[in-house]
Structure 1
Amino acid sequence: MKKIVFIIVTTFVFTTMIGYIYIKDVYANRNSYKENLIRFHVIANSDSKADQDLKLRVRDRVIKEMTNKLESSESIEETRLIVKKSLDEIKYIAKNELMKNDSKYDVNVYFGDYDFPTKSYGSFTLPAGEYEAVRIVIGKGYGKNWWCVMFPPLCFIDINHGLTDKTTKKELENVLSEEEFNMISSAKKDKEIPIKLKFKIVEVIEKNKMRFANLLVGQN
């Protein structure tokens, strides 16, 4: 009997340790790719047609003006440096486009970490979470937003040449590890993979706990 108890206890401890390490590794891969991406985010003043049109005009103008600087960037560090040096320029471009369209809205440009919902680029899905991003807020910033990936430069490929799954795959593979790439190319909706995995591991752990408890009760 003692031998059986020892085997069950050992199995329980081993399963718990493996489960913890596996979940930790999955979550590490799930979040590490975010460190290799910079997103571009434009938020409209409101959801009115006029304000949404303005948002797209500002988007197109900023991307057009910044293409030469950012499209050829070879690293996230280089893109980050360019962005930091260009914040005033981006604000000027956005403000100029608003004035060109007879808009008196103020505009603010930020560069930092922001929360995003789950979004997809064709067959690729970026789960919800905090990402580094350039954010342009027009007026009160109450309207629907538009976003893309600034690094790798998917924004510029999308606007200038048309984005396909093939080009998206190539750009993402250049900056992500195989595990990171697989994480976003296979995720269908937010948290689907890690939650299913966690539930399965927890289920195994709980079953072992019940067996162990029943065995102890049987001994008493």
Structure 2
Amino acid sequence: MLLKRTQLYLMLCLTVLILSWEGNYLVPAQAANSEVIPEESIRLRILSNSNSPIDQTLKLNVRDAVNTQVTEWVQHFDEFEEAHEYIGQNIEKLEETIASELEKVGKNISFDVGLEETSFPTKRYGNRLYPEGQYEAVKITLGDGQGDNWWCVLFPPLCFLDFSNDEGKADQAEIEAAEEEEVEVKFFVVEVITNLWGKVTS
């Protein structure tokens, strides 16, 4: 009788430890709902002409040039409206910057740039998930715009973050993998408890 009580006590202690571990494990998934990007923000989205090495390099060159230029513009702005108005009034300067980058690599393709509500697929950065939707952004389309895109946040400046540049396939894979991992953890906890209980009651 004493042995069974001891086993029951040990089982309860182990269960508490496992549940405590599981709770800590799931914190990153819960953190996915916290907001890092402010509701009032201006994103940057660049769609490259194609996935060829030259077009992808050009995309990154345009990203760096535009990011540097806009960061200088908005570094003294605290309000979304101020930054939005200034960027909107200087789209022609961004066009000049993009044209300069095209000229540097001898790429003769068309491009389009505008400040507008732009469709974004679901994006994950670190432990945080950003739902798909329409977001205010400087949208730059290089040539046919058929290559991988790149995005960040221009205001407030968050372009130093290495956001995913795919169109959602990798994001979905990450989400599914996280969900499967969470299910595996729960099954593991149930299995351990079931086995222990079977030993105590046998």
Instruction: State whether TM-score is above 0.5.
Output: yes
Task: Summarize the alignment of residues 1-220 of structure 1 with structure 2, pairs less than 5 Å apart.
Answer: 35-155=39-159, 158=160, 163=161
Q: Deviations over 1:100-156 (max 9, x none)?
A: 11111122101111111111232332111111111011111111100001122112x
Deviation at 1:34, TM superposition (A): 7.3
* Larger helix fraction of residues: 1
1:189 and 1:130, CA in 2 relative to 1: closer, same or farther beyond 3 A?
Answer: farther
TM-score normalised per structure 2: 0.59
AA in 2 matched with 1:100: K
CA pair 148-118 structure 1, distance change in 2 beyond 3 A:
same
1:38–1:149 Cα contact (<8 Å) kept: yes
Cα displacement string for residues 30-88 of structure 1 (whole angstroms, at most 9, x for unaligned residues): 9xx87512210111001111111110011111112222112332111111011101111
When the two structures are aligned, how many residues end up with a matched partner? 131
CA RMSD of aligned residues (A): 2.5
Distance 1:125 1:152, change over 3 A: farther
Q: Give the Cα–Cα distance (whole angstroms) in 1 for the partners of residues 128 and 152 of structure 2.
A: 12
CA distance in structure 2 between the partners assigned to 1:189 and 1:149 by the alignment: 22
Unaligned ranges ≥5, structure 1: 1-29, 165-187, 191-220
Q: Is the 8 A contact 1:118 1:189 kept in 2?
A: no
How many angstroms apart in 2 are the aligned matches of 1:88 and 1:57?
A: 18
Show CA shifts across 1:1-53 (max 9, x none).
Answer: xxxxxxxxxxxxxxxxxxxxxxxxxxxxx9xx875122101110011111111
Q: Which residue of 2 aligns with 1:21?
A: none
Gaps of 5+ in 2: 1-33, 163-173, 177-202
Equivalents in 1 of 2:153, 2:113: separation in Å?
16
Aligned equivalents of 1:121, 1:86: Cα separation in 2: 30
Counterpart secondary structure, 2:90: helix
| Other-structure match for 2:22 | none
Report the Cα distance in structure 2 between the residues aligned to 1:138 and 1:38, rounded to whole angstroms: 20
Identity percentage of aligned residues: 38
In the TM superposition, residue 189 of structure 1 has moved relative to its aligned partner by 5.4
TM-score computed with the length of structure 1 as normaliser: 0.54
How far apart, in 1, do the equivalents of 2:137 and 2:90 lie?
14
